[in-house]
Amino acid sequence: MNGLILFGHGARDPRWAEPMLRLRERITARAPKTPVELAFLEIMEPDLGAAAANLVARGCTSVTIVPVFLGQGPHVREDLGALVERLRAEHPALDVRCVPPVGEDDGVVDALASCALAALPADR
C-alpha cells in the first residue's frame, strides 16, 4: 500500500495548519483508500519520521512525500533532503519517494493565477 505525506513548514499558530488539514480532507474524499499523513519541518507535530512510522504501522510499503512549499528553498532542498536520507536509513524496506514542491506544479500555478485574478475588483 502507498501512503502520502503532506510535508509543510509548521508554525506557532495552530490556524496555520488549517489549509493542510483541508488539503488532507480533500485528498481523502477523492482517494478514500490512500492513507494520508501530515508532517512538519518544525514547531508542529508529527515530524517526517513519526508520520512515516504511522504509515508503516498502517501497512504502507511505500510513501510519497509531497512538499507543500512554494519553491525549492533550503527547507526543501537541504532540510527535507536530509530528513529523507534519514528515513531511508531507518526504514530500508520502505520505498520512499519525494516529488517537487507543489508550487512547481502547472495545475497549482494555474489555480493560483485564477485565485489572484478573482481577487481583483470587478471593474478591473
* 27: contact with its own copies by CB under 8 A: yes
Sort residue 66 into left (φ over 0), alpha (ψ -120 to 50) or beta: beta
Query: Min. distance of Cβ 8 from its own copies in angstroms?
Result: 7
Give the span between the Cα atoms of 8 and 16, in whole angstroms. 10
* 32: contact with its own copies by CB under 8 A: no
What secondary structure letter does DSSP report for 76? I
Query: Min. distance of Cβ 25 from its own copies in angstroms?
Result: 9
Q: Which residue has the cell 528553498?
A: 73
| Length of the chain, in residues | 124
Region binding its own copies by CB under 8 A among candidate stretches 2-10, 47-55, 84-92: 2-10
List contacts with its own copies (CB under 8 A): 2, 4, 6, 8-9, 11-13, 15-20, 22-23, 26-27, 30-31, 34, 36, 62, 64, 66, 68, 70-74, 77, 97, 99, 101-105, 107-117, 119-121, 123-124
